[in-house]
Amino acid sequence: MDKEEKLEEKNPQVEVLEEEKPIPGGVSEDKKQKKNKKDSKLKEENQKLLEQIQQLQADNQSLIDKVKLTQAELINYRKRKDEETANMLKFANQGLITELINVADNFERAIKLDDNDLTDELSKFLDGFKMMYANLMEILKKFGVEEINRVGEVFDPNQEQALMTDCVDEMDDDVVIEVLLKGYKLNGRVIRPASVKVNSK
């Protein structure tokens, strides 16, 4: 046996002592620090992700609101266009109606002649005028034309224009006494105000 081998046999504890070296005190603290850093990093990332989610939700809500607003505006636009189209159709023939009303005025002037002072031949013509006038008024009525006749009612500047005033004690002030020239409405809209005489005390 060598001297070295003999020494090893005599000191068998040497190897064990070398293997069981004590762990330095700072190692477990390093692990804790690393774990804490990792946890804080995860918390930061989670916080960032939460903020991103909140931002995306806010953006999404904003887009939904914009879409709803656009849809509401589109619906309102369609309603306006439908109303405009309906009004255009409703009053498309206003110019023609106005001209026909002037013809009706002439018929009225003609049929106001006293039938008793006319010859038989002229009386027959007058009867023909009356028939044509009645026919014309029926046609106008069919197309939504109505006469404005508010005798006995308070003067309304939206439907009438006062050409004359008179004083009638039995009637209230500002009441329509007489229609001098008929007014007309087309589908509820005044296309010619009535020319009237108004009471003024």
Three-state SS letters, 90-107? HCCCHHHHHHHHHHHHHH
pLDDT on residue 117: 67
Domain boundaries, the chain: 29-88, 93-143, 146-201
**CA 145 → CA 11, 93, 103, 136, distances in Å?**
132, 11, 14, 11
Task: Tell me how far apart the 2 most distant CA atoms of the chain are, in Å.
Answer: 175
pTM: 0.60
How many CB atoms are closer than 10 A to CB 67? 10
User: What is the tens place of the pLDDT at every residue in 118-139?
Assistant: 677 777 888 888 899 999 999 9
Question: Quick one: fold of 146-201?
Answer: Nucleotide Exchange Factor Grpe; Chain A, domain 2 (2.30.22)
pLDDT on residue 78: 94
User: What is the tens place of the pLDDT at every residue in 66-114?
Assistant: 999 999 999 999 999 999 998 888 888 999 999 999 999 998 888 887 6
User: What is the tens place of the pLDDT at every residue in 162-183?
Assistant: 999 999 888 899 999 999 999 9
CB within 8 Å of 136: residues ≥ 6 apart: 100, 103, 104, 107
User: What is the tens place of the pLDDT at every residue in 7-18?
Assistant: 445 444 444 444
